[in-house]
Amino acid sequence: MNPVNRIRFFLISLGIPRKDERFSKDLHRWKTILKIEGNDKQALAVLLSTEKAFRSLYIYRLKNRAYRGWVKLLYPPLDSLYIMTGNIGGGLFIQHGFSTYIAAESIGENCWINQQVTIGYKDNSRPPVIGNNVTITCGAKVLGPITIGDNVTIGANAVVVKDLPPDSVWGGVPAKRIR
């Protein structure tokens, strides 16, 4: 690591939300999926250096607004990934994240969101509630005051506007149960 990156990482490591269990789960999930070797500090350095979607999630997890601003200067987030969710469980993995809008009421643990996904409002009611272990693949839309059950997979380009039961696979426009 060159001297500039060492200084950057030192400054970033001062504000790592170590006591935030959700951040720890995020870090371990990204480390596992991307097959990053080494300890947590080394993995964090790699992720902040190479993964803009991870940077966006890291910045989202930071509580201190001033510190968040410094992190954005040192490690710019993905500018087309918007995360505006009240509560996100640990272990969220955002693959690519390009042109992705995440505005759920809440998202459970160990969810996987691909690029060009929209999770948000359909009208002036509430946004969706996403369960645990949900996978939302590229281009899918999850809209309105609905609930997505645990262990659900939503296929590419599917449009979901109704509640989905747990342990199911959905696809199509409008989304229909595949399995």
**pLDDT tens digits, residue range 133-147?**
999 999 999 999 999
On whether the CB atoms of residues 164 and 141 are closer than 8 A, the answer is no
| Strand runs labelled E in the chain | 81-83, 87-88, 93-94, 100-102, 106-107, 112-113, 118-120, 129-130, 135-136, 141-143, 147-148, 153-154, 159-160, 169-171, 176-177
Convert the pLDDT of each residue in 93-104 to its tens digit.
Answer: 999 999 999 999
Convert the pLDDT of each residue in 115-132 to its tens digit.
Answer: 999 999 999 999 999 999
Most confident of 59-68, 74-83, 142-151: 142-151
Instruction: Give the C-alpha separation, 43 to 105, whole Å.
Output: 30
pLDDT at residue 112, rounded to an integer: 98
Residue 130 backbone dihedrals phi, psi, to 5 degrees: -110, 130
Question: Cβ-count burial of 130 within 10 angstroms (0-12 exposed, 13-18 middle, 19+ buried)?
Answer: buried
Alpha carbon 79 to chain centroid, angstroms = 14
pTM: 0.88
Of the candidates 142, 176, 174, 136, the residue with the CA atom closest to the CA atom of residue 156: 136
Three-state DSSP class for 141?
strand
In which band, very low, low, confident or very high, does the pLDDT at 105 lie, cut at 50, 70 and 90? very high
* pLDDT higher at 103 or 6: 103
Q: Percentage of the chain with pLDDT > 70?
A: 89
Task: Answer whether residue 17 shows pLDDT above 60.
Answer: no
On whether the CB atoms of residues 150 and 134 are closer than 8 A, the answer is yes
pLDDT at residue 3, rounded to an integer: 65
Structure tokens at 92: 């969220």
In which band, very low, low, confident or very high, does the pLDDT at 69 lie, cut at 50, 70 and 90? confident
| Mean pLDDT taken over the chain | 90
In which band, very low, low, confident or very high, does the pLDDT at 28 lie, cut at 50, 70 and 90? very high
Task: Answer whether residue 11 shows pLDDT above 60.
Answer: no
